[in-house]
Amino acid sequence: MSDTLISGVIVGGPEAANKFRASGLLLIEALRKGIGRACLLVVARTKEKLSDQVLHVRTGRLRRSIHADPIEVVGDMVTGRVGTNVEYAGIHEFGFKGPVSVREHLSTSVLGNKFTVRSHTREINMPERSFLRSSLTELQGEIRAEVERAVDGYIMGAR
């Protein structure tokens, strides 16, 4: 399954394609910068969403973990990624329904008495609360504009 949400095509026939190929490194560098700026837009929007209590922030760990990976260039493909390494992010982003194991732990009653809760399995029904995908969707126009600005800058410099 591809996770590409935005892609581009060179329009203008073989002559335009040959011109791009001839100075491809300059175009790829322009795209790398444009996609890098677009990724920073997504990071900022995602952190803003998480600050607006999308997930009822407790520690801010998830918000602090949102980052843009270094831009990858493989052949003529330029890829930018925004993500997190926090293990519970996927459950919030996509939702989850199913059993989870709860380890034995100490708890305190309403009256202040401590007691042991034995390990057990419980059913979880966590609704989807997208913060990454929804930010990307909301910013598609700005992302496209950032990439187009990068290509336009390349074209103006190549003349």
Categorize the per-residue pLDDT at 7 as very low, low, confident or very high, splitting at 50, 70 and 90.
Answer: low
Asked if 148 contacts 130 with a C-beta cutoff of 8 angstroms, the reply is no
Q: How many residues are given for the chain? A: 159
Closest by CA to 83, choosing from 68, 93, 61, 63, is 68
Alpha-carbon distances of 144 from 36, 39, 57, 93, 138, rounded to whole Å: 12, 11, 31, 23, 12
Report the predicted TM-score, pTM, of the whole model to 2 decimal places.
0.76
Beta strands in the chain (DSSP E): 67-68, 72-74, 77-79, 82-83, 96-102, 105-108, 114-117, 120-126
Most confident of 7-21, 52-66, 93-107: 93-107
Helix axes 13-22, 24-51, angle to 10 degrees: 90
Give the mean model confidence (pLDDT) for residues 55-80.
Answer: 88
Q: Which residues, 6 or more positions from 45, have their beta carbon under 8 angstroms from its beta carbon? A: 135, 138, 139
